[in-house]
Amino acid sequence: MARPPKAIKRDRQISIRFTGTELDEIDAHGAAAGTTLSEFGRTRMLAKRNAPARDLGMAEALQEQRLIHIQLSRVANLLNQLVPHMHQAGEILPDVVSLLQELRTIISGRGLP
């Protein structure tokens, strides 16, 4: 006797590469959920397709983080240019010490808004 046709015919396929450890973890999650690996993966990948668009506040926070990252990168670049000059002069400028302390505070997260 032939197998009855499925209501949804899945006729497309994708290939995703995982490490052995990653695949074992995914397989364990699928088994814990009581589904096949394919069904588990499909469910997880499509889970947020009906989710609302990103919250505007979240988008603004991400943009602010990007700007902070850019500014810190620029400051780090300037410091990298300043260090050889200080080595040649044989002295550390007093402002550089306070600047480094302030940067350490910002990077550690205590100085971020």
Domain count, the chain: 2
Q: Tell me whether residue 113 is in a domain.
A: no
Element (H, E) at 88: helix 56-89
Structural domain for 90, as ranges = 56-107
Q: pTM for this structure? A: 0.39
- Quote the percentage of the chain above a pLDDT of 90: 8
C-alpha–C-alpha distance, residues 41 and 107, integer Å: 37
**Do 34 and 73 fall within a single domain?**
no
Residue 111's pLDDT band (cuts 50, 70, 90): low
Element (H, E) at 99: helix 94-107
Q: Tell me whether residue 102 is in a domain.
A: yes
Q: Tell me whether residue 5 is in a domain.
A: no
**Do 36 and 61 fall within a single domain?**
no
Q: Tell me whether residue 6 is in a domain.
A: no
Mean pLDDT score, 11-25: 91
The model's pLDDT over 46-84, given as tens digits with 9 standing for 90+, comes to 887 665 655 667 777 888 888 888 888 888 888 888 888
